[in-house]
Structure 1
Amino acid sequence: MQPRQPVVVLGECVADAFAAPTAASRTDRESTALGLEVRPGGGPANTAVALARLGSPTRFLGRLSADAFGRLSRARLAGSGIDVSRCPPATEPSTLAVADLDDQGRAGYAFHAERTADWQWTRAELHTGVEGPLACLHTGSLALVRDPGAAHIEQLLHEVRPRATVSIDPNVRAPLVDPRRYRERLRDWCRTADILRVSDDDLAQLAPGATPAAAADAWHAHGVRLVVVTLGPQGVFASLDGSRLRIPAPRTAVVDTVGAGDAFTAGLLHSLHSAGMLGGRLTGLTPELLAEAASLGVRVAAATCAVRGANPPWAADLDTVA
């Protein structure tokens, strides 16, 4: 039996810094010190980690900085079993995101991202990363809208499409990029992508006032076959060429939701890959297979919500998720 072709995940590695009280601030009422607990993150990197931990052959294509945060990200990726051999070394610094969690564990971010490594792609770097067989190219988030690399990535998606499934997760970051930029590019993304995954927060930015079904119909009309909208504790809405389904979310004691959407995408892609659905235009995908894939996605997302930060489960850990 020939090994499965890899899923290539393209995008940023971001250092997620979580505010934490320092020892001084816990003991000294006059102290204004604030500590930061830094964990490797970034939407595409999170998806790659979750995919590899589930057992899919995974290659990550990201511009990894040589600084301390870049080394942290590289160690996490490699330690999860990801092929990082085609990540170009970057002299620019890593992107830093300072996360602020609300009472429900949902994170807001302040980004420090000017002239950082993640966005400085060249065509040569990108083409090296997708040489050889691949089943799917998944990308999105900031790498798809931040110059100068964004235009090169969009062109790469068109070039790869004849030989691989294309998956896009816009992952709108309104504090850093005006949502109008995402809306302006969305029609072209739908023409290129086979899979479009958005969160409920993304939906509010990309199609203000639209229901998941109405948005899916509009995006289908532009060309994308599979639209998936993750709805947090309300589960998932999915539309395959207009055929709808809803999948409930497992009950979960939420620590935080950091990386939950990325983990869902990994579960979805892993299940589709295992079923032999990736590699083309989702030929043969049925509502039943889609329901299985979305069900795995919500389980992986739930397991990620149950721990701190974007720390998706290994395949063996899923037995603990109802």
Structure 2
Amino acid sequence: MRLPLVTVLGECVADAFTAPATAQGELALRVLPGGGPANTAVALARLGTPARFLARLSDDVFGRLFRGHLESSGVDLSAAVRATEPSTLAVAELDAQGRAEYSFHARGTADWQWTADELAVTDLATTACLHSGSLALVRDPGGPVVEDFLARASATATISLDPNVRPLLVAPEVYRARLPRWCALADILRLSEDDLGLLLPGCTIERACDVWHAAGVPLVVVTRGEHGAVASLHGERIVVPAPPADVVDTVGAGDSFTAGLLHHLGARGLLGGRLTGLRVDDVFDACVFAAHVAALTCGAVGPNPPWAEELRLPAPMAGRAAR
């Protein structure tokens, strides 16, 4: 059975990780293809979901790296724009827990230059779900164009969003101002506990879910790293524990969780339209699967999600806790 198409719209970023230098006075960097939306598209394709990536990919050395990585993972780049601007670079330092702190080199780069004409030619007829978010949705000049595209897509497709707040590049208050509009468009809002702290400082997960439901989004999923995830469907909440993981780093884990969630929902025929047939048990099962995909990503260097054949699904979890 062919799974429904998921279209992903957003950036692809060169993630440069510090590495041991070979001589004194040098800084060595290992560059891997990254960027939240690109990571999600790769993870979807590796899981077996047809994934089309709408991106503006440069022809520079990083852009060629991106194309090779995406295509080798099975991502459809037929609608990607060949951009003249340079690629975005993020330099990452990992802490003792494998979490990354980034500095960005993103002024005038390809990812943020979307025009209405570039997206107007995109055919959405076969897209069951459109996933977007991160910096491409919030950085000008392209952000408003992407938002308009989401509005058009919402007439026929399930809309999934991940704000992926990056305060070094865009002030959190910009996200806060736009998030109610995104919630009105979206069917799924997936974000991290760190994102929540930046968007609604001092707010509990339960209260944040209620705020975002009131703004229009039916399903909210907050990932909490080693503490698992909390999901809320129209206010009915569940807690999903995190499976054991041998953590190398956590880069791309949230993006893999999103991909696992969408893949599982799509495989069960639940994507497309407004999720009217979705039940909280469906959400729990999808989140268990998504957490497993994220845990496997944590066991690899950088944003390197697993392939379908690498998955060993856990036994059904007991203690499905409702809140």
- Normalised by the shorter chain, which TM-score bucket? over 0.9
Q: 1:174 to 1:321 in 2, by over 3 A?
A: farther
Deviation at 1:131, TM superposition (A): 4.0
Q: Select which of 91, 112, 115 maps to 1:119.
A: 112
Unmatched 5+ stretches in structure 2? 316-323
Q: Select which of 176, 194, 216 maps to 1:183.
A: 176
Q: How many Å separate the matches in 1 of 2:78 and 2:64?
A: 14
Which secondary structure does the structure 1 equivalent of 2:53 belong to? strand
The one-letter code matched in structure 2 to 1:290 is V
Preserved CA contact (<8 Å) 1:21 1:33: no
Q: How many Å separate the matches in 1 of 2:184 and 2:311?
A: 35
Deviation at 1:129, TM superposition (A): 3.0
Aligned to 1:12: 11
| 1:138-187 CA distance string (max 9 Å, x none) | 00000011111000011111111110000100000011110110000011
TM-score, normalization by structure 1: 0.96
Q: Select which of 234, 243, 268 maps to 1:275.
A: 268
Q: How many Å separate the matches in 1 of 2:50 and 2:153?
A: 18
Q: How many Å separate the matches in 1 of 2:208 and 2:182?
A: 14
Aligned to 1:264: 257
Q: CA RMSD in A?
A: 1.2
Equivalent residue runs for 1:40-119 within 5 Å = 40-119=33-112
Which secondary structure does the structure 2 equivalent of 1:23 belong to? coil
Aligned to 1:296: 289
Q: Select which of 135, 152, 156 maps to 2:128.
A: 135
Which secondary structure does the structure 2 equivalent of 1:309 belong to? coil
| 1:198-248 CA distance string (max 9 Å, x none) | 101100001111111110000000100000000000000000000100110
Which secondary structure does the structure 1 equivalent of 2:210 belong to? helix
Aligned to 1:217: 210
The one-letter code matched in structure 1 to 2:10 is G
**Identity rate, percent:** 60
Which secondary structure does the structure 2 equivalent of 1:135 belong to? strand
Deviation at 1:297, TM superposition (A): 0.6
Deviation at 1:23, TM superposition (A): 1.7
Deviation at 1:22, TM superposition (A): 1.6
Q: Do structure 1's residue 204 and structure 2's residue 204 form an aligned pair?
A: no
Deviation at 1:253, TM superposition (A): 1.4
Q: How many Å separate the matches in 2 of 1:129 and 1:261?
A: 27
Deviation at 1:320, TM superposition (A): 7.7
Preserved CA contact (<8 Å) 1:303 1:321: no
Aligned to 1:144: 137
Aligned to 2:246: 253
Preserved CA contact (<8 Å) 1:302 1:321: no
Q: How many Å separate the matches in 2 of 1:244 and 1:11?
A: 29
Deviation at 1:288, TM superposition (A): 1.1
The one-letter code matched in structure 1 to 2:36 is G
Which secondary structure does the structure 1 equivalent of 2:153 belong to? helix
Q: How many Å separate the matches in 2 of 1:138 and 1:222?
A: 19
| Alignment size in residue pairs | 315
Preserved CA contact (<8 Å) 1:226 1:239: yes
Preserved CA contact (<8 Å) 2:292 2:313: no
Aligned to 2:20: 21
Unmatched 5+ stretches in structure 1? 25-30
Preserved CA contact (<8 Å) 2:4 2:49: no
Q: How many Å separate the matches in 1 of 2:301 and 2:121?
A: 35
Aligned to 1:318: 311
Deviation at 1:321, TM superposition (A): 6.9
| 1:70-127 CA distance string (max 9 Å, x none) | 1111111111111101101000000000001111000010000000000000112112
Which secondary structure does the structure 1 equivalent of 2:155 belong to? helix
The one-letter code matched in structure 2 to 1:200 is E
Q: How many Å separate the matches in 2 of 1:32 and 1:251?
A: 39
